[in-house]
Amino acid sequence: KTQPNWERFEEEMGSTVITEEQETNKLSKDYYWYSPVLAAELADKVADGVAKPETVEQALAVLKACYTHDIPVTTRGAGTGNYGQGIPSYGGLVLDLSGLNKIIAMEPGQVTVQAGVKLGRLEKELREAGSELCIYPSTYMKATVGGFFSGGSGGIGSIAWGNVWDGNLLEAHILTMEEEPRILTVKGDELNRYIHNYGTSGIMVQLTIRTAEAVDWEQVIVQFDEGEDMLAFTESLAYDDEIRKRLVSGHETPIPTYFVPLAPYIEEGKAVALIEIEAGDDSRLKELSSSHHGQITRVIPADRYHKEMSLSDFTWNHTTLWALKTDPTLTYLQSGFSTHHYLDQMRNIKQRYPDEVHLHVEWVRGDGDIQIGSLPVIEYQSRERLYEIIDYFESIGVSVNDPHTFLLPIDNKGRFEQILEAKALNDPKGLLNPGKLPELKKARQAG
């Protein structure tokens, strides 16, 4: 592989390219090491250079120059993705959008931002103005708005507002990768061509996202002797229309033992629910928890929200992070259980893998319905064993969104095909994050 002539290239695009090894290594990597499979596959992948545009015009100039010289471009927000989807498979340039960090307009029910704005800063500024984000990942302090909608799925708030496909993105400005790159303004169903695309069909530089009126949230820890009581409690809470909530997260033993800072509030051997609910009269919560044999061990009042310990730091994929801190050989899966017979599915799994699979659930709303998402912690033995577990999950009707591949998932809603259509139009040379698209025909045949 020959190195691009960066000097000429810098002149053409009017901004500098970082080529210093330590920096390009750092900016070529995300949290791929979460997966022992990806850790082995991606460790040596690195960009040849990194550009950090501060304006959309500069980003356009970078794309134009890369098109002319056939240089692959991998877009980067904050690099908190954990499937290696932001790691350049074929070198080239990392386009770091952290410099596009302007909040453009706050209006009732929506906010327009540049793609590199961090979700934590946005939530803070929205709350100061009386509103809040509808959904955000547990990495919100670092993650960017563009990175979340291009590479994430859901998180805190998803129990009320759904995931990235459920109307939370209202409009996006997309850059194409052509001889003369264009800026497309995309709305409505057409957004499915770009949401969760890993930057393969176009690059988001500006997003208008849905916001909600700010709510005073209190955070509550509820512990249980029995994992199944914890599950029943989280289910009741997820469906309870009287309690407004932002987070309903459940963890069976031994997962709570990984949450070292929460140790004063969780006894050894207990299962735990970590929740965010509207502050106020807690009588309904107390009723629900006692009817499921739960014990409320800590309430963090609303005036301490996001000011001291955030319970969301232990939920979603942060759960896996705490597990990895305790035991670096652990790993995880992403799965969806049946809301009708999830207990049977979980009992089957526990029976077959009593010491290998530890259940962690996140209740969400998807396509309008309550759903039970799960990021179980797995005692990793080998790639073969991991895929045997995945096969077993699928054989009993538990869907698995494999987090051990950097390839874009192919869903059953036709979204992958929409991304391919947009890619054919916007990226004729196939330079946008190459290597991340599975072959549709093969995948469909296999599936």
> Are 77 and 144 in contact, with CB atoms under 8 Å apart?
yes
219 binds ligand FAD (CB under 6 A): no
Among 65, 73, 97, 431, binds ligand FAD (CB under 6 A): 97
> Judged by CB, which is closer to ligand FAD: 181, or 294?
181
Applying CB under 6 A, does 152 fall inside the site for ligand FAD? Answer: yes
Alpha helices in 292-401 (DSSP H): 317-326, 342-352, 383-395
Q: How far is the CB of 280 from ligand FAD (least distance, A)?
A: 26
181 belongs to the binding site for ligand FAD (CB under 6 A) = no
Query: Cβ closer to ligand FAD: 133 or 272?
Result: 133
Task: Work out how close the CB of 351 gets to ligand FAD at its nearest, in angstroms, rounded to a whole number.
Answer: 29
Tokens representing residue 421 in the block: 């259509």
DSSP string spanning 14-44?
Answer: TS-EE--HHHHHHHT--SGGGSHHHHHHHTT
Q: Which is nearer to ligand FAD, 232 or 400 (CB)?
A: 400
Q: Is 112 in the site for ligand FAD (CB under 6 A)?
A: no
CA–CA dist 334, 347 (Å, integer): 18
Shortest distance, position 347 Cβ to ligand FAD, whole Å: 27
Interface pick for ligand FAD out of 204, 300, 364, 400 (rule CB under 6 A): 204
| Distance of closest approach, residue 282 Cβ to ligand FAD, in angstroms | 26
| Residue 160 tokens, joined | 């009320």
Q: How far is CA 205 from each of CA 166, 185, 275, 408, rounded to the nearest angstrom?
A: 20, 10, 33, 21
Q: CA nearest 142: which of 256, 258, 313, 371? A: 313
Q: Out of 24, 28, 150, 168, name the contact with ligand FAD by CB under 6 A.
A: 150
Strand partners, 76: 96
Residues contacting residue 5 through CB under 8 Å, at least 6 positions apart: 69
Residue number with CB closer to ligand FAD (285 or 324): 324
Whole-angstrom distance, CA of residue 307 vs CA of residue 262: 16
Nearer to ligand FAD, 165 or 353 (CB): 165
76 binds ligand FAD (CB under 6 A): yes
Provide φ and ψ at 238, rounded to 5°: -60, -40
Is the Cβ of residue 207 or residue 389 nearer to ligand FAD in the bound state? 207
Report the SS3 class of residue 165. coil
Q: Is 147 in the site for ligand FAD (CB under 6 A)?
A: yes
CB 300 within 8 A of CB 308: yes
Mode of pairing for the β-strands spanning 93-96 and 73-76: parallel
Interface pattern 278-317 for ligand FAD (x via CB under 6 A): --------------------------------------xx
In the complex, which residue's CB is closest to ligand FAD? 147
Q: How far is the CB of 56 from ligand FAD (least distance, A)?
A: 11
H helices then E strands: how many in the chain? Answer: 14, 21
DSSP at 342: H
The residue among 208 and 289 lying less far from ligand FAD, judged by its C-beta, is: 208
The site for ligand FAD (CB under 6 A) is made up of 30-31, 74-82, 85-86, 97, 115, 137-139, 143-144, 146-148, 150-155, 198-199, 203-204, 316-318, 321, 433
